[in-house]
Amino acid sequence: MDLPVDEWKSYLLQKWASLPKSIQVTISTAETLSDIFLHSSSLLQPEDELFLRRLSKSYLVGKDSDAPFFYREQGNKKFQEKDYTAAAVLYSKGVSHSRPNTEDMSLCYANRSAALFHLGQYETCLKDITRAQTHGYPERLQPKIMLRKAECLVALGRLQEASQTIGDLERNFTPTPTPADVPPQTLQRNLHHLKMKVQEKENLTETFPATLAKTLEDVALRGENEQLSSASSSVSLCIDPLKGRYLVATKDILPGELLVKEDAFVSVLNPGELPPPHHGLDSQWDTRVTNGDLYCHRCLKHTLATVPCDGCSYAKYCSQECLQQAWELYHRTECPLGGLLLTLGVFCHIALRLTLVVGFEDVRKIVKKLCVKISNKDICLPESNNQVRTLNWGRGETEKNGSRVGTPIPGCDANGKYGRNYNAVFNLLPHTENHRPEHKFLCAVCASVLCRQLEAASSQAIPTGVNSSQLTAAVTPELCPDVTIWGVAMLRHMLQLQCNAQAITTIQHTGCKGSIVTDSRQVRLATGIFPVISLLNHSCSPNTSVSFTSTVATIRASQRIGKGQEILHCYGPHKSRMGVTERQQKLRSQYFFDCTCPACQTEAHRMTAGPRWKAFCCNSCRAPMQGDGVLRCGNRSCAESVVSRDDLVSRLQDLQQQVGVAQKLLRDGELERAVQLLSGCQRDAESFLWAEHAMVGEIADGLAQACAALGDWQKSATHLQKSLRVVEVRHGPSSVEMGHELFKLAQIFFNGFAVPEALSTIQKAEEVLSLHCGPWDDEIQELQKMKSCLLDLPPTLVRS
């Protein structure tokens, strides 16, 4: 997903392998990124581009005029099955293939408005009705959507507008001519019915509470940081020769305190895991749902009512505003390159978007400025091994300027402030010397392909972020000779992203059919670049926690951080998810460093024991098993014979598979069968897994969900408490995982009317979750609703 698709990757690696040794050496030993770029770029042949073009064509990114009808039919099927969410998504796919101002487009919008109406999304429904009307909704069908509009307005309490709509409808449609799809009697009856509703509501003297606007405004940062934008005054930016740049606490920080709140400099929605559909008669159009169908491609807001780009079928937005902004900033260049960008991967896409958003002029200025400053060795040189040199650059800069007020920290502006700007992004380390030569070649060729596309496209439209008011500006004459600068900048960004890309995640709530208790899972939504967050160093057991709202990341202290302590963030390999060997290997290969965090140091000492959540236990005495290839019971007096690790591992794999089957049954609502299977798994697990093994927790969690769906709250709570213990051992008592688990337990107690237990669990869940997320987090909001509901209960209902 981040890197190009496998076919293109292996094509280029083969090309690399077949290069004469001398050329390989030239590229491997090239001193600067521009040398790497120029050498690699000169090797790109027309047949390579042809191959790439063929690959790109397998993505259906254009508009297909036959698709809207197909998707509308598919949507109607789901609508009849009352699966309104699925129907809405299919209508959206229909919309994205329709041309503006066509009946196709208006019908897809109108049908989607019906699905949204049934989902209770009245505001969005109204928007779709307007969209249907502006794109030429047929006159004969008007009464249908006007009735729906009136219904929405009534539901929203906007009674005056509702009456007006009803009035319009009566004047224009009731006498003659007869509207085709709504027989006159039905229309009359519906109108009458609606008018009654309006009257009823008008008689209620109470005004309707305006729907609680969910502001994205979070608690503010504690004081503005003068040196570091997007950060609180509780932290400060430091630099040292060994560590590079890092953040420390300037005062004692309490758990839950907001430390950084930063909007992504650039982000690209991840297209999802789905491979492109193969050419063939069976899969003409794709009905699969990906993140690309559910989230705005610009602001990442979740929506069922996307608005598509006029030029392609893949870019979709939450609103006309997002569409317009995306178009002006980058999409007018990206639009015709959809298939190519999907083939080249997210890193390439971000690299391109960075240069588009910043604008060619500014990219050129920064590249030139930094390359000139360091005389013949440009900024694109390896730099991470020697942080001292990084420091010197800065000093040189200030000396040359003849003043000492300048800053020694790379990425800062003339006033010494580090912020969310291209200078800071450009200064993130690309670790050029650590990447394998064939990888650099691959990235350079991809950047070169993009450059050629841009050159070709520049004869029609030129992408600049700055003067983008006219949709088609002319080519600036100096663009062509300077295209190398563009390529070098993109190459630098692609190399930087391996260490600096930040996954933007969201929590998706899922639940088995019929269950009120929801489960949550973290999904990766997009990849972004955050220059301030990139300053944080890694720990496998960090003291902060990151969460996202739209494209804004917030970093909170997840524990007390003393004055002077470093603020640490986890790059992915967390001690609760991987053992020390796996973490170290991952950090070395992706981030090029050896982790010496306290977790790594202590774990390395007792490596043989391994974490408890992965441990096997003795079948007869339940003591932990010890050893490497051959395991024996840790209890010396136990007579149990030895077992091979491989046997236990394969038993665990079988169990995992069984649990997977049970989880599928659970999702399909086959509750009794799921319980039966899970109970069997539980017995099996207890015979060879440690009581706090992750698998034991997973099974208990499944049982808890099934029991909840069956209405047996007590049993459900017992199972969930078991799962809770496993989560606590693995992730720690105040981890976000623990918060999600407590949230589930609170839901179970709440639904089972166990008021004291529910209240105390709600309190605990709130405490843990607020360490990681802001007050507008869905789960925290839900907990507060549950609490006020319980506190309002009449005492007679309370079972104690």
In this structure, what token pair is assigned to residue 212?
């609680």
Which lies closer to Zn ion via its Cβ, residue 133 or residue 325?
325
- Residue 440 φ then ψ, to 5°: -65, -40
Among 247, 268, 318, 499, binds Zn ion (CB under 5 A): 318
- Residue 344 φ then ψ, to 5°: -80, -15
Binding segment (CB under 5 A) for Zn ion, from list 29-37, 455-463, 621-629, 698-706:
621-629
Report the nearest approach of Zn ion to the CB of residue 301 (Å): 5
Burial class from Cβ neighbours inside 10 Å (0-12, 13-18, 19+) for residue 102 reads middle
Which lies closer to Zn ion via its Cβ, residue 179 or residue 542?
542
In this structure, what token pair is assigned to residue 619?
């079948």
Which lies closer to Zn ion via its Cβ, residue 269 or residue 444?
269
What's the CA gap between 367 and 492, in Å, rounded? 10
Return all residues near 321 (Cβ < 8 A) that are at least 6 apart. Answer: none
Report the nearest approach of Zn ion to the CB of residue 633 (Å): 3
Interaction of residue 638 with Zn ion, rule CB under 5 A: yes
Binding segment (CB under 5 A) for Zn ion, from list 360-368, 501-509, 512-520, 599-607:
599-607
505 three-state secondary structure: strand
What's the CA gap between 631 and 618, in Å, rounded? 9
Interaction of residue 600 with Zn ion, rule CB under 5 A: yes
Burial class from Cβ neighbours inside 10 Å (0-12, 13-18, 19+) for residue 476 reads middle
In this structure, what token pair is assigned to residue 209?
């509470």
% helix, strand, coil for the chain, step of 5: 55, 10, 35
Report the nearest approach of Zn ion to the CB of residue 318 (Å): 3
Interaction of residue 115 with Zn ion, rule CB under 5 A: no
Which uninterrupted H or E stretch holds 266?
Answer: strand 266-269
Report the nearest approach of Zn ion to the CB of residue 639 (Å): 8
Q: 677 with 658: CB under 8 angstroms?
A: yes
Report the nearest approach of Zn ion to the CB of residue 692 (Å): 17
Which lies closer to Zn ion via its Cβ, residue 25 or residue 607?
607
Which lies closer to Zn ion via its Cβ, residue 391 or residue 638?
638
Among 7, 83, 170, 640, binds Zn ion (CB under 5 A): 640
Which lies closer to Zn ion via its Cβ, residue 595 or residue 666?
595
What's the CA gap between 433 and 377, in Å, rounded? 14
Query: Which is nearest to 438 in space by CA: 5, 8, 39, 17?
Result: 17
# residues contacting Zn ion (CB under 5 A): 22
Query: Which is nearest to 556 in space by CA: 738, 736, 358?
Result: 736
Report how far apart, in Å, the C-alpha atoms of 514 and of each of 383, 667, 758 are.
57, 9, 21
Report the nearest approach of Zn ion to the CB of residue 472 (Å): 15
Report the nearest approach of Zn ion to the CB of residue 769 (Å): 25
Cis (ω within 30 of 0) for the bond into 177?
yes
Report the nearest approach of Zn ion to the CB of residue 569 (Å): 12
What's the CA gap between 2 and 527, in Å, rounded? 9
φ/ψ region of 136 (left if φ > 0, alpha if ψ in -120 to 50, else beta) reads: left
Report the nearest approach of Zn ion to the CB of residue 615 (Å): 13
Binding segment (CB under 5 A) for Zn ion, from list 50-58, 120-128, 327-335, 479-487:
327-335
With tokens 């989607």, the residue in question is 112
Which lies closer to Zn ion via its Cβ, residue 311 or residue 396?
311
Interaction of residue 174 with Zn ion, rule CB under 5 A: no
Residues numbered 351 to 390 that lie near Zn ion (CB under 5 A) are none
Which lies closer to Zn ion via its Cβ, residue 10 or residue 589?
589
Among 259, 335, 356, 689, binds Zn ion (CB under 5 A): 335
**Taking CB under 5 A as the rule, which mask of x and - marks residues 735-754 in contact with Zn ion?**
--------------------
Binding segment (CB under 5 A) for Zn ion, from list 266-274, 330-338, 523-531, 765-773:
330-338
Which lies closer to Zn ion via its Cβ, residue 268 or residue 424?
268
Report the nearest approach of Zn ion to the CB of residue 322 (Å): 3
212 three-state secondary structure: coil
Which lies closer to Zn ion via its Cβ, residue 52 or residue 309?
309
Residues numbered 485 to 544 that lie near Zn ion (CB under 5 A) are 540
Which lies closer to Zn ion via its Cβ, residue 138 or residue 579?
579
Residues numbered 263 to 292 that lie near Zn ion (CB under 5 A) are none
Which lies closer to Zn ion via its Cβ, residue 551 or residue 734?
551
Report the nearest approach of Zn ion to the CB of residue 458 (Å): 18
Query: How does DSSP classify residue 640?
Result: P
Among 55, 296, 380, 494, binds Zn ion (CB under 5 A): 296
Among 194, 532, 561, 597, binds Zn ion (CB under 5 A): 597
Interaction of residue 340 with Zn ion, rule CB under 5 A: no
Which lies closer to Zn ion via its Cβ, residue 140 or residue 301?
301
What is the DSSP code string of 572-612? S--TTTS-HHHHHHHHHHHH------HHHHHHHHTTTT--G
Pairing state between β 552-557 and 266-269:
unpaired
Q: 252 with 564: CB under 8 angstroms?
A: no
Report the nearest approach of Zn ion to the CB of residue 598 (Å): 8
Among 633, 677, 727, 746, binds Zn ion (CB under 5 A): 633
Interaction of residue 621 with Zn ion, rule CB under 5 A: yes
Query: How does DSSP classify residue 478?
Result: G
The residues that bridge with 545 in the sheet, in sequence order, are 556
Interaction of residue 572 with Zn ion, rule CB under 5 A: no
Pairing state between β 537-538 and 568-569:
parallel
Report the nearest approach of Zn ion to the CB of residue 313 (Å): 8
Which lies closer to Zn ion via its Cβ, residue 192 or residue 588?
588
Among 249, 253, 312, 696, binds Zn ion (CB under 5 A): 312
Q: 698 with 737: CB under 8 angstroms?
A: no
What's the CA gap between 782 and 762, in Å, rounded? 10
Query: How does DSSP classify residue 141?
Result: G
Interaction of residue 322 with Zn ion, rule CB under 5 A: yes
Report the nearest approach of Zn ion to the CB of residue 581 (Å): 11
Among 154, 299, 329, 671, binds Zn ion (CB under 5 A): 299
Binding residues for Zn ion, per CB under 5 A? 296, 298-299, 301, 309, 311-312, 315, 318, 322, 335, 540, 595, 597, 600, 618, 621, 623, 633, 635, 638, 640
